[in-house]
């Protein structure tokens, strides 16, 4: 699978997230500043404070997405040699009770859903800091890992890694 395509797709999704956060932050800041008359603001100052807090939160979200994009600009995942241990940049497939799941182990973007080239399947982005990322990092195809999904421990077998 073309990992460069996955990195580009992840970058675009993060760029879109930063754009949405920036716009939401601007809207919340405007509402905090201009959303009520002076008398209304005195009467209910909490609303203006809540909008200001929302604006700060959205600004932080946008900054975080931009920092993640900067990280991806230097990320060049290479193919994983046959029999090698799973490392950052790997595409990993696991099997759980007959159901397969595919992950892209990236430095940022945890939880983002990607599609393979030409719409070929779905991959979830996991990072080395996530429970799944920690579980697969350094493992090999054929090994079984234990992960907790929605509070329930599961055994997954690694069936593919590239």
Name the domain boundary from 73, 103, 129: 73
| Maximum separation of any 2 CA atoms in the chain, in Å | 70
Burial class (CB in 10 A: 0-12, 13-18, 19+), 6: buried
Encode pLDDT of 87-133 as tens digits. Answer: 999 999 999 887 889 999 999 999 999 998 777 789 999 999 999 99
Question: Is residue 116 located within the same domain as residue 56?
Answer: no
Question: Is residue 24 located within the same domain as residue 56?
Answer: yes
Encode pLDDT of 55-68 as tens digits. Answer: 899 999 999 999 99
DSSP symbol at 117: G
Query: In whole angstroms, what is the distance from residue 45 CA to residue 109 CA?
Result: 36
Question: Is residue 99 located within the same domain as residue 127?
Answer: yes
Query: In whole angstroms, what is the distance from residue 99 CA to residue 154 CA?
Result: 12
User: Domain holding 133: CATH number?
Assistant: 3.10.50.30
Residues 6+ apart with CB under 8 A from 13: 109, 112, 114
Q: Which residue range is the domain that position 56 belongs to?
A: 3-73
User: Considering its fold, how many domains does the chain have in total?
Assistant: 2
């Amino acid at each position: 699978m073309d990992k460069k395509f996955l990195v580009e797709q992840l970058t675009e999704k993060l760029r879109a997230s930063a754009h949405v956060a920036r716009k939401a932050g601007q809207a919340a800041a405007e509402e905090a500043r201009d959303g009520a008359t002076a008398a209304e603001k005195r009467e209910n100052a909490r609303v203006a404070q809540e909008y200001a807090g929302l604006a700060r939160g959205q600004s932080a979200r946008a900054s975080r997405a931009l920092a993640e994009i900067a990280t991806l600009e230097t990320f060049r995942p290479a193919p994983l040699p046959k029999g090698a241990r799973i490392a950052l940049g790997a595409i990993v497939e696991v099997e759980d009770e007959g159901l397969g799941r595919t992950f892209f182990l990236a430095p940022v973007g945890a939880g983002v859903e990607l599609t393979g080239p030409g719409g070929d399947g779905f991959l979830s982005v996991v990072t080395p800091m996530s429970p799944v990322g920690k579980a697969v990092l350094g493992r090999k195809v054929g090994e079984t890992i234990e992960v907790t999904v929605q509070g329930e421990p599961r055994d997954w077998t690694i069936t593919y890694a590239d």
